[in-house]
Chains A and B, each alone.
Chain A
Amino acid sequence: MRGLEKFLRGRFAAAAIAVLIGLLVAAIVLIAAGYDPIASFAALITGAFGRPKYITNVFIKATPILLTGVSVAFAFKTGLFNIGAEGQYILGTVLATIVGVKLNLPMPLQVPVVLLSGIAGGAALGAFVGWLKARFGIHEVITSIMCNWIAFYLCNFVVMSNTFHKPNSQSALPVNPSSYTMILGSWKKSEAGKEFLAGMPWLREVLLKTDLNAGFIIAVLVAVLISWVLTRTKLGYELRAVGFNRDAARFSGISVESNIVLSMLIAGGISGFAGALAITGTSPHTITLLAAMEGYGFNGMSVAFIAGCAPIGCIPASIMFAALIYGGMSVQQALGVPSDIINITIGTIVFFTALPGIAPYFADKIKQRREAKELANGTKAGEA
């Protein structure tokens, strides 16, 4: 029990407890709705890790939410709440698509230009929200949500516009292939590639049946970079100082206003990057007509909170959530369980990460019980 108590006081306890409770709630809901929770979890795990193809897809799914997670975590560390990652992501996809369709440069130039336009889109939207906060004192949560919906309708506007609409479809024109960031994208479909892969079924499945792309590696590098900026640079120090104590930061000569705008600009840029990488790295390489929010930004918030808003912690958190989301789809296919159960699980997990007192609370309980037991044993020993 001492080990458990020590764990509960450690830094991973809150996350672990939140995940456990999330799964528990999911199990209860499943039982209440008449489904078999054990079979559902089994289907979830097979659906996420059962084949090389599935594992690859989990990493592909983890890429955008790792980046939006880092975006939310970064903003949170500087005292801002970036609920607008969703809109910044959407704007990133929109701008990457516009530039990727209109521009056709050689690949070494095209890829950076397309990615940078996505980053610029997200950064602009983030900076706008930051400016509204710095200049007018409007809470960033409300303006961010409004910007999310504006980006949402802007995306649909571009999809349906004469210039970009792909006839007889629900999507815009795909970007030029020179923008693609798939790993060995053209080689794997060439004759030589097919011949080489024929002898290696595992690699063949991973390469040919998925959109394996450089996104996850890039996203991990971004997480490391942001972590370094936050903890090891003057910029990061100033940004965190503003988040920690605005008045003290101002008193020591840090410009609070420009740091708020800068922080939201960076956070927005990271989310926009996520959108751009989704366009260059995965099919259909374009934006489609949105019927509802796709949740990349909102899932990013979940990733950030479960990671305690540590950028590096977002890496395992994003893989876990991607496995939940991707595996959840097979639960629906295999057992007919509505995949919304995954959203219930994720919502529960985030809810319990909001309760920082919960792990120490259980630790105290265990300590009390142990002390009571020791006391009882002690009295018994005394009597004997």
Chain B
Amino acid sequence: MDSFILLLSITLMYSTPLVFGALGGVISERSGVTNIGIEGMMVIGAIAAAAGSYFTGNPWIGFLMAGICGAIVALLHAVASVSFAADQTISGVAINLLAPGIALFACRQLFEGAAMSPIAPKLPGVVHGHMSLNVTTLIALIFAAIMWFVLYKTKWGLRIRAVGEHPQAADTLGIDVYKVRYACVLISGMFAGFGGASMTIAIISQFTQTAISGHGFIAMAAVIFGKWHPFGAYGACLLFGFTQALVILLGGGDFVVPSQILSMLPYAMTIIVLVLFVGRSVAPKADGVPYVKGSR
């Protein structure tokens, strides 16, 4: 029983950064903007959180800074993909090249040339019996619920989905497509930033070069697997978190499988899950297509 609870709490812990990243992916793609830059925005969030928490001594400030910095990077993506109708894949890739550069440069500037930050104060844990969870896990769940409510129960959500499915129709109804997309991409960056923070000031307690290693892309896979739905994406992230928990638990003991092979598990699992489920998942119609006012 104890090992089951341990597995469950590690699963929840490791799925949290993915959940934030995936929520960011859902909101951005629902409005019709592919955001491959989630990974980069998570890296920026990771350093911002560690630095903010270290220098102020208050991890909550670090968490907020991560969201703000993620949104600032997302602004670049929004300008490129909404205003300039750029190739969203290239723009996202550029952000993924740019962000680790900025993060490491900032890290070396702030911490005397080191590629990792010192140990920073962590966000508080929530302990219930044997379950030990970080508060970020709860925040992620609450945000998933809020996003579901906003997307499916409010007029704002209806507008966002309309813009992602058929921007021309939305435009004729008086919805400002550009404004909606800007807002969604910025929120997407904020969530990705939170995701980075829930790695560096909740799971580990410092920024390292490999703190975010493909998590943003696993989160994007979770968006597809979760059918662009907040709860679907949440469930998908739990599955990916579970594979990471297995890596940690099995890697700890004298297990026959070498650790390098074990480390491949989350990535292999992502491909397997996509193979099994992608055919049944349909993207928002205008996802990844720039909208140019007046064009048909």
Q: Chain A residues in contact with chain B, CB under 8 A? A: 29, 33, 81, 83, 132, 136-139, 141-143, 145-150, 153-154, 156-157, 160-161, 291-292, 298, 301-302, 305, 336, 338, 340-344, 346-348, 350-351, 353-358
Give the nearest-CB partner of A145 in chain B.
Answer: B217
User: 5 other contacts beyond A137-B279, A147-B267, A343-B100, with CB at 8 A cut-off?
Assistant: A132-B271, A340-B100, A347-B94, A351-B95, A356-B87
In the complex, the answer to whether A153 meets B263 with C-beta atoms within 8 Å is yes
Q: Which residues of B contact A350 (CB under 8 A)?
A: 90, 93-94, 97-98
Where the two chains meet, the residues of B that have a C-beta atom closer than 8 Å to any C-beta of A are 36, 76, 80, 84-87, 89-91, 93-102, 104-105, 108-109, 113, 209-210, 213-214, 217-218, 220-221, 224, 258, 260-261, 263-264, 267-268, 270-271, 274-275, 278-279
- Taken together as a complex, chains A and B put the C-alpha atoms of A186 and B84 apart, in Å, by 55
Closest A residue to B40 by CB, please name it. A347
Nearest CB in chain B to that of A357: its residue: B84
Write the nearest CB–CB distance from B158 to chain A, whole angstroms: 27
A143 to B274, CA, bound (A): 9
Q: Known contacts A153-B264, A154-B264; decide if A347 and B101 are in contact (CB<8 Å).
A: yes
Whether A156 pairs with B275 at a CB distance below 8 angstroms is no
Could you tell me if B105 and A29 are in contact, using CB atoms closer than 8 angstroms? yes
Once A136-B279, A357-B84 are accepted as A-B contacts, the answer to whether A146 and B268 lie under 8 Å apart by CB is: yes
Give which listed residue, B101, B102, B220, contacts A142 with CB less than 8 A: B220
Chain B hits for A33, CB < 8 A? 105, 109
Contact at B108–A142, with CB atoms within 8 Å? no
Assess whether A354 is in contact with B214, with CB atoms less than 8 Å apart. no
* Contact yes or no, A156 B89, CB < 8 A: no
| Residue from A138, A146, A347, A353 within 8 A of B217 (CB atoms) | A146
Contact B94 A340 (CB under 8 A): no
**Are B101 and A341 touching (Cβ within 8 A)?**
yes
Partner of B108, one of A81, A302, A305, A338: A338
Chain A's closest residue to B278 (CB) is: A138
- CB pair B105–A354 under 8 Å, yes or no, is no
Query: B86 — which chain A residues lie within 8 A by C-beta?
Result: 354-357
Residue contact B279 to A292, C-beta cutoff 8 Å: no
Task: Find B274's partner among A142, A340, A344, A354 (CB 8 Å cutoff).
Answer: A142
The distance in angstroms between the C-alpha atoms of A336 and B263, with both chains bound, is 35
| B101-A344 in contact (CB<8A) | yes
23 CB-based A-B contacts, threshold 8 Å:
A136-B274, A136-B279, A137-B278, A142-B221, A142-B224, A145-B217, A146-B218, A147-B267, A148-B214, A153-B263, A154-B260, A157-B260, A160-B260, A302-B97, A340-B102, A340-B105, A341-B105, A343-B98, A350-B93, A350-B94, A351-B98, A354-B94, A357-B85
| Set of chain B residues within 8 Å of A141, measured between Cβ atoms | 36, 89, 217
Q: Which A residues lie within 8 Å of B224 (CB)?
A: 138-139, 142
Report chain A residues within 8 Å CB of B100: 340, 343
Please, how many angstroms separate the alpha-carbon atoms of A346 and B100 in the complex?
11
Interface pair A149/B84, CB less than 8 Å apart = no
Question: Contact at A136–B97, with CB atoms within 8 Å?
Answer: no
A305-B94 Cα distance, complex, nearest whole Å: 10
Residues of A contacting B108 in the complex (Cβ-Cβ under 8 angstroms) = 338, 340
The 5 closest A-B pairs by CB, nearest first: A347-B98, A343-B101, A351-B94, A354-B90, A157-B260
| Cα-based distance from A301 to B91 in the complex (angstroms) | 12
| Chain B residues near A136 (CB-CB < 8 A) | 274-275, 278-279
Determine the distance from Cα of A141 to Cα of B89 in the docked complex, in whole angstroms. 9
User: Which chain B residues border A348 with CB–CB below 8 Å?
Assistant: 94, 98
For the complex, give the distance between the alpha carbons of A358 and B90 in Å. 15
B residues near A145, Cβ cutoff 8 Å: 214, 217
Cβ–Cβ contact A338 & B105, under 8 A: yes
Known: A146-B214, A354-B90. Contact between A292 and B274, CB under 8 A? no
Contacting residues, chain B, for A157 (C-beta < 8 A): 258, 260-261
For residue A148, which residues in chain B have a CB less than 8 angstroms away from its CB? Answer: 214
* Residue in A136, A149, A336 with the greatest tally of chain B CB atoms within 10 Å: A149
Closest CB-CB distance, A156 to chain B, in whole Å?
5
Does B278 contact A150, Cβ atoms closer than 8 Å? no
Contact A354 B87 (CB under 8 A): yes
Which chain A residue shows the least CB distance to B218? A146
Q: Is the CB of A150 within 8 A of B260?
A: no
Most buried by A among B94, B263, B275: B94
B113 touches A338 (CB 8 A): yes
- Beyond A142-B270, A355-B86, A357-B85, whether A149 also contacts B220 by CB under 8 A is no
Distance between Cα atoms of A346 and B95 in the complex (Å): 10
How many angstroms between the C-alpha atoms of A358 and B210 in the bound complex? 34
Q: Which residues of B contact A161 (CB under 8 A)?
A: 258
**What CA separation (Å) do A7 and B52 show in the bound complex?**
45
Do B267 and A146 have beta carbons less than 8 Å apart?
yes
Chain A residue at minimal CB-CB distance from B288? A139
A353 to B224, CA, bound (A): 28
B80 interface neighbour in A150, A346, A351, Cβ under 8 Å = A351
B278: which A residues are within 8 A, CB to CB? 136-138
Chain A residues with CB under 8 A of B261 = 153, 157
- Find out whether the CB atom of A81 lies under 8 angstroms from the CB atom of B89: yes
Residue of B nearest to A157 (CB): B260
